[in-house]
Chains A and B, each alone.
Chain A
Amino acid sequence: MSALAFSLREAPDQRLDLSPLIAQNLAGKTAAEIERIELQTTRIRVAVGDVFRVQEGDPDTIVIEGGAERFDRAGMGMASGSIRVEGEVGVEAGRLMSGGQLTVRGNAGPFAGSGMKSGTLNIEGDAGERLGGPLSGETVGMSGGVLHVRGDAGARAGDRLRRGFILIEGRAGAYAGSRMIAGTLAIGGEAGDLPGYLMGRGSILLGRGATLFSPSFGDCGEHDLVAARLLANYIARTSAKLATLFRRPLRRLAGDLAALGKGEILLPHP
């Protein structure tokens, strides 16, 4: 069976909530029924059929042909199957997803992968701020799965990360891994100021260091860690380029000693 495809007719006039377009919502629906699903975020009604041409297919394989910065919550809450967006997306892509694979072939806005629990989110462009992080009032960010960004990420990537892997091949903004609870955040390029700010546990791997380190991390010296090999092997399943950076002795900074202090920043010798 071919993929269930949504072809963009024209750029939307308002921000749209694409969260209904996931397998568990679309299973058993005809193309006509799908076209009637409402996506608006204002008082002006916008249905799927107004924005997309729908080609009936397997809802476990969804393709959204043509992205837009106004497409919010793409793949939000998805539990299985795959969604591929051929273009960029807005805020909260893949938020709270608990399975399956979401691929964004463009940039993603803030809060991509926010609170995701499982599955894989691939962003082939850049990601906005608070990648995987919690929304206001939430205490925990991403708690499982793999979040992979080929480009750069904004500030506070991995904020309150609880479990899982965030892999950023490019650079990251300030406060990467802030308030991390556990999990692993790997950044291939240079990170901004104060990575690991107030982190309790977890690992931050910095391929090319950071613009400024917090003085509340203690230098534990350089080590050839077995755990780093396991991490690199696991990262290599998603990004061989990123994994290569950590297949060597790594300097270990323990911290944040201003918080619980059981976390670490690992970085290769410059």
Chain B
Amino acid sequence: MPELTANGIAIDDTFAEAFDMRATAIVITAPTERWATQAATTMTGFATSVIACGCEAATESVLSPQQTPDGQPGVRVLMFAVSTAELQRQLQNRVGQCVLTSPGSACYAGLDSGDDKLKLGDAIRFFGDGWQIAKRLGARRYWRVPVMDGEFVCESTTYLTKKAVGGGNLIIMGKTGEKTLAATEAAVEAMGKVADVITPFPGGIARSGSKVGSKYKGASASTNDLYCPTLKGAVDSALSPEIASVLEIVIDGLTSEAVANAMRAGLAAIIELGPARGALRVGAGNYGGKLGRHHYHLKDLLP
């Protein structure tokens, strides 16, 4: 594969292929940042991939008390799914089981506009068993649901966008596991500063990149053997002999532009770290351009 080089790091002349998704955002607040983060972490657990989790979700940003509707510390969570119905189901179940239950929590819409609305408090209010109270403040409507530590306040609806993109990615390849991880961590940290994106895998990183299909019936995805360093000698590997570890960052964004911005920030961080402490090569995953309509060419995203 023809390669470019930046600061001694080989950049594959390839592209990440990404897909249209439905997405929403919510803001979770609590008396302390620790408990706002806890509710968000619990809600976004087991939300790494739509393949088996139903949705992809993660904390997008931590909000100061000045940035939240109720003046408490908060976090903004983004959630992505392949359909509006699945997004609604996941939102309702996860807020109901993980945010409603978290001490002191409150929950608000994280998008001010969009293509449609999703039920938020409108789906949770029934927990109040008739004691729930609706309160309309201007254009916004909130539910107050009595719970054992006081009240769970939850905005009635949030918006969804149909312009979201899922599956932006970078494949980071290095000489050792330690260096590859260092480069990938640097990229995830840089992406964390980009608005409207999440990296839903553990700590933002996937070590088990997958290909479509499997030799086994019933498995829709299986290990990406071309990028497994321990199979270098056994398959038509995509890896050169010096590569011993490969990690992937998957990026979901509320817009295509946000995904591109995140990939640009990640690439810049990897290149800045350099090959001595980080990666030797960066690539991206695609399906030949036939499945997803969003293509992010690495050469266009270089700093």
Contacts and interface: CB of A to CB of B under 8 A. Distances in A.
Contacts of A227: 133, 135, 142, 144, 151, 153
A229 B70 CA distance: 6
A225 B150 contact: yes
Pick the most buried of A184, A230, A234: most chain B CB atoms within 10 A of its CB.
A230
B138 interface: yes
Pick the most buried of A163, A229, A231: most chain B CB atoms within 10 A of its CB.
A229
A234 B71 contact: no
Interface in B134-159: 134-138, 142, 144, 150-151, 153
A226 B133 contact: no
B153 A226 contact: yes
Contact of B151 (A163, A203, A226): A226
Contact of B135 (A203, A223, A224, A262): A203
Contact of A233 (B71, B133, B134, B151): B71
B173 interface: no
Contacts of B138: 234
Given A184-B135, A262-B133, A230 B70 contact: yes
Interface string B46-83: 00000000000000000000000111100000000000
Nearest to A223: B150
A234 B137 contact: yes
Interface residues of B, number: 18
A127 B5 CA distance: 76
Contact of A163 (B29, B136, B153): B136
Contacts of B106: 226
Contacts of A156: none
Contacts of B142: 227, 230
A201 interface: yes
Pick the most buried of A201, A227, A234, A264: most chain B CB atoms within 10 A of its CB.
A227
Contacts of A163: 136
Contact of B71 (A201, A229, A231): A229
Given A230-B69, A230-B142, A233-B69, A225 B151 contact: yes
A230 B72 contact: no
Interface string A202-223: 0100000000000000000001
Nearest to B143: A227
B39 to A, nearest CB: 14
B106 to A, nearest CB: 5
**For the complex of A and B, 10 pairs with smallest distance between CB atoms:** A234-B137, A226-B153, A229-B70, A226-B106, A227-B144, A226-B70, A227-B153, A229-B71, A230-B70, A223-B150
10 contacts: A226-B106, A226-B153, A227-B135, A227-B142, A229-B72, A230-B135, A230-B142, A230-B153, A233-B69, A264-B133
